[in-house]
A and B are shown apart, each in its own frame.
Chain A
Amino acid sequence: MIETERLTKKFGDNLAVDSLSLKVAEGEFFCFLGPNGAGKTTTIKMLTGLLHPTAGRAILGGYDIQKDPVAAKRIVGYIPDAPFLYEKLTGREFMRFVAGLYQLSGDGVVERTETLLDLFGIDDVGDQLIEDYSHGMRQKLSFAACFLHDPRIVIVDEPWVGLDPKNIRFVKDFLRARTREGLTVFMSTHTLSIAEEVADQIGIIHNGRLLHVGTVPEIRAMAKSPGTLEDVFLEMTKEEGE
């Protein structure tokens, strides 16, 4: 469902992502791990078409995001780590706006909006301006808006910022349940315990290079001595001299 071929991004002389090639199958929950500045967000932005790759390509659901962006974007949903939204719109107005962008119409949209607002627990503040929302409420609204057009692929960049434990559990369970229905999730996170819990596959990126891809047991098995995913991650991403 997601395929990258030698995806590369350079900012001047700085190589942010170096020939990244990976495949994520339909219905798979893929967790993308890496230390700060490893190239996770750059990869995500190339997958969503917000950045142009210097070389290589990204295919989403069979569509090249650079050559056929409109078709690719129809099946993709994205949740950024810092959800900047339109402050002067209400939550419901924002949902209606997103529906318009995706050219969704009819009574089904209203019904689906209400269902999603209710599901993410923000139906009671749906008529309030977004500028009055807390960070967690904005994050939940981003989730609700992302699922409005029923995407086949969801790309999530560190979604846990601002969410309380109850909501983290809810989002985790929700995404897991949706993958069982065929949704493909590509999630970047620093929270290794959650990745260990939900991921079908894990990719570890460091200094722009994809070090390893595998299931949690496979990644764990790469450690010199038995340990948690955190131990393996720290060992793999250790800088020289540390």
Chain B
Amino acid sequence: MNPALLILGAKLRMAWHEIASVRKQSKLKVAVITVFAGGIWLAAYGCFHEGFEWLIRFGGEAQSDPLKVGYIIMARMLAVLGLAVFFMLVFSNVLVAFSTLYRSREVPFLLQAPISFRAFFIARFWECVGFSSWALAYLGSPLILAYGRSSGASPVFYIAAVAFFLPFIIVPACVGCMITMILARAFPQQRVRVMIGLGVVAVGLLFLYIRDVLDATRLSQDVALAAVMDATSRTQTPFLPSYWATRGILAAAERNFRECAFQFLLLLSNALMCVWLTAEMAQRIFYRGFSFLAGQDRTRFKRLDQGVLGRADSLLCWLPNPARALVVKDIKLFWRDPTQWSQFVIFFGILAVYVANLHGVGNSRYTSDMWRSWIACLNIGSCTLVLATLTSRFVFPLVSLEGRRFWILGLAPFTFRRLVWQKFWLSVCTTSLFTVGLAALSGRMLHIPALHFWLSIYSVVVANFGLAGLAVGLGTLYPNFQEDNPARIVSGMGGTLNFLLSVGYVVLIVGAQTVILQWHVLERFTTPQAFWRTLGIAVLSITLVSLVTSLLPLYLGLRNLSDMEF
């Protein structure tokens, strides 16, 4: 039997065992995750559908207009999205390929087997494709469905969307794997500083490009449509797979089957060519890169009391032990793990784009109270969602990351209560630093009214406690001690549940104040006293909800940890 198929068969059996193990999981957990995942899918569909409908209305008499302005914008936005997704998939595959091809524990076992590097690569490649692309299938499907429904596409459109999906995700996966193999081959010979410098330049250029496109597409300008079309035209090129995919799918929507078939075959042939090319590259350079990485001098000295990390213990001398020991350990492990800090840096790069874009919104002509109130509420939503992302990605895995080292903590003379509270306070202190700062900065840049400003600060402060308690509590309730990769811990059932509940909590607390503030602007309250009374009740309710969101998961998590065996 083909060795690649044999390995893939074993992987599929493992995946099946994993799925079958859901039966042994808590029924409540499975039900909550299913309901929330379905809810998010439906909500995404609703948002996309409403957005597309709005664009059609924005275009005027769409059905009778031969130019169909709304449709043109919709198609162009889909194309821009396809391009963005393509580059995101390339980036995601670079990261996934490194851990799958070089760092996974299975790699030495597979490499000592009598199989070619080509077969090894093909087997591992499909794992990269699956890991990097499942989220696209989940969030892309409501978008495609909404587009099809809004544009009245033919049934062939949906079949085409499914058919185009696989070759579309294969191409960036191949490109990502190629980049990883080249980097692994070249990296050990390059100085780390040179590589970091190149990375910073690449991210900087991308940042400038995104900002340029965002500036050009700002709809508050007089020539909005022309600006949008001009800016987005820069993202269109017939040499990119995203172009072939979107052109093909859109052709199917317009019943232009000849164009659709041409674009599909073009994409498919390129995808197959890419797989062949990457497999040949793997046959030739993978092993050299692998042995370079495995054989390099890995002696790294980190002297105590040198550098900021080395002095962390002295800097935090005001904290009593064992809390200080745990905090210092968590900080050091975080900053010495490239998979952690690199995602942290990317996250803040995206935030920088957001903040840079606020400047234009704040200075624009949104003078009506209603719009200013909307912008302020959306900003609170953004800040708290940023916080939810931070806690879901970086705080939830904290307890799981103790992993197979839990015997060290289990043997130490302190109760798990102290451990859980240490994680909670570490989260509150670090995330508050960023998110309260972001709320204040964005509030100032948007020139939002004082009431909205202080309400946003209050909301973010309270949410820091609520979301930290939720993430630490659920991280303790559903830990994964077998996994050392935080990204995989987060993508598990517990991590998904935490993210969904975090989003639910944000929607609840932001939604409550948004409704009250909008009613106030629309003068629905009969007296100012009625407004202040309602707002006071809302603030109190938000505090109570946050307390419950924080303390209940912490209590349940702690109880679970105390009952746990290692």
A residues near B, CB below 8 A?
A: 45, 48-52, 69-71, 73-74, 76-78, 80, 82, 84-86, 88-90, 92-93, 96-103, 105, 127-129, 131-132
A98 to chain B, nearest CB (A): 7
Bitwise interface map of B from 403 to 416 toward A, beta carbon under 8 Å scored 1, else 0 = 11101111111110
B304 touches A127 (CB 8 A): yes
A93 touches B332 (CB 8 A): yes
B565 touches A128 (CB 8 A): no
A48-B407, A86-B405, A100-B322 are known; give 8 further A-B pairs, CB within 8 A.
A69-B415, A70-B413, A78-B411, A89-B329, A90-B301, A101-B325, A103-B322, A128-B299
Q: How far, in angstroms, from A49 to B407 measured CA to CA in the complex? A: 10
Known: A48-B411, A52-B565, A101-B412. A86 touches B301 (CB 8 A): no
A82 partner residues in chain B, CB cutoff 8 A: 404
Residues of chain B in range 217-251 having any CB-CB distance to chain A below 8 Å:
none
B414 partner residues in chain A, CB cutoff 8 A: 70, 101
| B30 located at the interface, meaning its Cβ lies under 8 Å from any Cβ of chain A in the complex | no
Q: How far, in angstroms, from A194 to B560 measured CA to CA in the complex? A: 40
A127 touches B301 (CB 8 A): yes
A52 partner residues in chain B, CB cutoff 8 A: 563, 565
Bitwise interface map of B from 512 to 523 toward A, beta carbon under 8 Å scored 1, else 0 = 000000000000
B293 to chain A, nearest CB (A): 13
A101 touches B304 (CB 8 A): no
Known: A97-B325, A103-B322. A128 touches B411 (CB 8 A): no
A73 touches B412 (CB 8 A): yes
B408 touches A98 (CB 8 A): yes
Q: How far, in angstroms, from A84 to B410 measured CA to CA in the complex? A: 13
B216 to chain A, nearest CB (A): 43
Known: A71-B413, A86-B329, A101-B325. A93 touches B302 (CB 8 A): yes
A127 touches B328 (CB 8 A): no
| B313 located at the interface, meaning its Cβ lies under 8 Å from any Cβ of chain A in the complex | yes
A100 partner residues in chain B, CB cutoff 8 A: 321-322, 324-326, 328
Identify which of B321, B336, B413, B565 gathers the most chain A CB atoms within 10 Å of its CB. B413
B329 partner residues in chain A, CB cutoff 8 A: 86, 89, 93, 97
B565 partner residues in chain A, CB cutoff 8 A: 45, 50-52
Residues of chain B in range 329-385 having any CB-CB distance to chain A below 8 Å:
329, 332-333, 336-337
A102 partner residues in chain B, CB cutoff 8 A: 322, 412-413
Q: How far, in angstroms, from A79 to B453 measured CA to CA in the complex? A: 55
B residues near A, CB below 8 A?
A: 298-304, 313, 321-322, 324-326, 328-329, 332-333, 336-337, 403-405, 407-415, 563, 565-566
Q: How far, in angstroms, from A52 to B566 measured CA to CA in the complex? A: 9
A48 touches B410 (CB 8 A): yes
Q: How far, in angstroms, from A69 to B324 measured CA to CA in the complex? A: 21
Residue of B nearest to A88 (CB): B336
Residue of A nearest to B566 (CB): A50
Q: How far, in angstroms, from A241 to B279 measured CA to CA in the complex? A: 54
B333 partner residues in chain A, CB cutoff 8 A: 86, 88-89
Known: A70-B414, A70-B415, A89-B333. A101 touches B322 (CB 8 A): yes
B299 touches A97 (CB 8 A): no
Q: How far, in angstroms, from A131 to B302 measured CA to CA in the complex? A: 13
B403 partner residues in chain A, CB cutoff 8 A: 84
B300 touches A45 (CB 8 A): no
A85 touches B326 (CB 8 A): no
6 contacting pairs across A/B (C-beta < 8 A): A73-B413, A74-B413, A100-B322, A100-B328, A102-B322, A129-B302
Partner of B302, one of A84, A86, A97, A127: A127
B303 partner residues in chain A, CB cutoff 8 A: 127
A60 to chain B, nearest CB (A): 12
B412 touches A93 (CB 8 A): no
Q: How far, in angstroms, from A51 to B565 measured CA to CA in the complex? A: 5
A45 partner residues in chain B, CB cutoff 8 A: 565-566
Known: A84-B403, A84-B407. A129 touches B413 (CB 8 A): no
A84 partner residues in chain B, CB cutoff 8 A: 403-405, 407
Q: How far, in angstroms, from A76 to B412 measured CA to CA in the complex? A: 9
B378 to chain A, nearest CB (A): 39
Q: How far, in angstroms, from A164 to B333 measured CA to CA in the complex? A: 30
B412 partner residues in chain A, CB cutoff 8 A: 73, 98, 101-102
Residue of A nearest to B327 (CB): A100
Q: How far, in angstroms, from A97 to B325 measured CA to CA in the complex? A: 5
Q: How far, in angstroms, from A86 to B136 measured CA to CA in the complex? A: 34
Q: How far, in angstroms, from A128 to B303 measured CA to CA in the complex? A: 8
Residue of A nearest to B416 (CB): A69
A89 touches B300 (CB 8 A): no
Known: A127-B303, A127-B304. A96 touches B411 (CB 8 A): no
B411 to chain A, nearest CB (A): 5
Residue of A nearest to B410 (CB): A50
Known: A51-B565, A100-B325, A127-B301. A80 touches B413 (CB 8 A): no
Q: How far, in angstroms, from A98 to B328 measured CA to CA in the complex? A: 12
B321 touches A93 (CB 8 A): no
B302 partner residues in chain A, CB cutoff 8 A: 90, 93, 127-129
Q: How far, in angstroms, from A100 to B322 measured CA to CA in the complex? A: 5
A44 to chain B, nearest CB (A): 11
Q: Top 10 A-B pairs ranked by shortest CB distance?
A: A100-B325, A88-B336, A84-B404, A101-B412, A73-B413, A50-B566, A74-B413, A100-B321, A51-B565, A127-B301
B300 partner residues in chain A, CB cutoff 8 A: 128-129, 132
Identify which of B326, B407, B409 gathers the most chain A CB atoms within 10 Å of its CB. B407
Q: How far, in angstroms, from A88 to B337 measured CA to CA in the complex? A: 7
Residue of A nearest to B324 (CB): A100
Partner of A88, one of B328, B332, B407, B410: B332
Residue of A nearest to B484 (CB): A87
Partner of B409, one of A51, A69, A101: A101
B51 to chain A, nearest CB (A): 44
B298 touches A132 (CB 8 A): yes
B561 to chain A, nearest CB (A): 12
Residue of A nearest to B329 (CB): A97
B326 touches A128 (CB 8 A): no
B336 touches A103 (CB 8 A): no
A77 to chain B, nearest CB (A): 8
